[in-house]
Amino acid sequence: MSARADQEILIVDDEQSVRDLLAYVLRGAGYAVRKANDASGCLACLSERKPDLALIDWLLPDACGLELTRTLKIGGDRRRIPVIMISARSRETDRITALDAGADDYMTKPFSTRELLARIESLLR
């Protein structure tokens, strides 16, 4: 069994196809996965248990991913959860805004799943 099986990643994205693709890739790499389609679902998942990393989309139906990230980063032990913000927004100012909000990394859609896995592995070391 892979050591990754003990590591859980929370995917927060309102597009089911994106959640499903990311879950497929992450499970294939040996990670445990939970999914939420909005900020409320994310917070509900966090109340159950803390993931090792969160992938958060910028645009969510009930809140901005930036605000969700800020909320995570000010909240007790949740602030230690690495966050990779994923978004179609590709301007430099968008990346800087996300990092200023507390994201540990930023990836622009569409992205390489191999690069995403490398960034995840880097943050989980």
The DSSP code sequence of 15-34 is: -HHHHHHHHHHHHHTT-EEE
| pLDDT for the residue 76 | 78
Going residue by residue through the chain (125 aa), what tens digit of pLDDT does each one get?
A: 455 768 999 999 999 999 999 999 999 999 999 999 999 999 999 999 999 999 999 999 999 999 999 999 987 788 899 999 999 999 999 999 999 999 999 999 999 999 999 999 999 99
What is the model's pLDDT at position 104?
97
pLDDT score recorded for residue 65: 95
Q: Which helix (H) or strand (E) holds 10?
A: strand 8-12
The ranges assigned to domains in the chain are 3-119
What percent of the chain is modeled with pLDDT above 90?
Answer: 86
Q: How far apart are CA 42 and CA 121, in angstroms?
A: 22
Residue 72 falls in which region: left (phi positive, over 0), alpha (psi -120 to 50) or beta: alpha
- Give the global pTM: 0.93
- Cα 95 to Cα 16, 22, 115, distances in angstroms: 24, 21, 17
CATH of the domain spanning 3-119: 3.40.50.2300
pLDDT of res. 79? 86
Mean pLDDT (the chain) is 93
Consecutive H or E run containing 86: strand 83-87
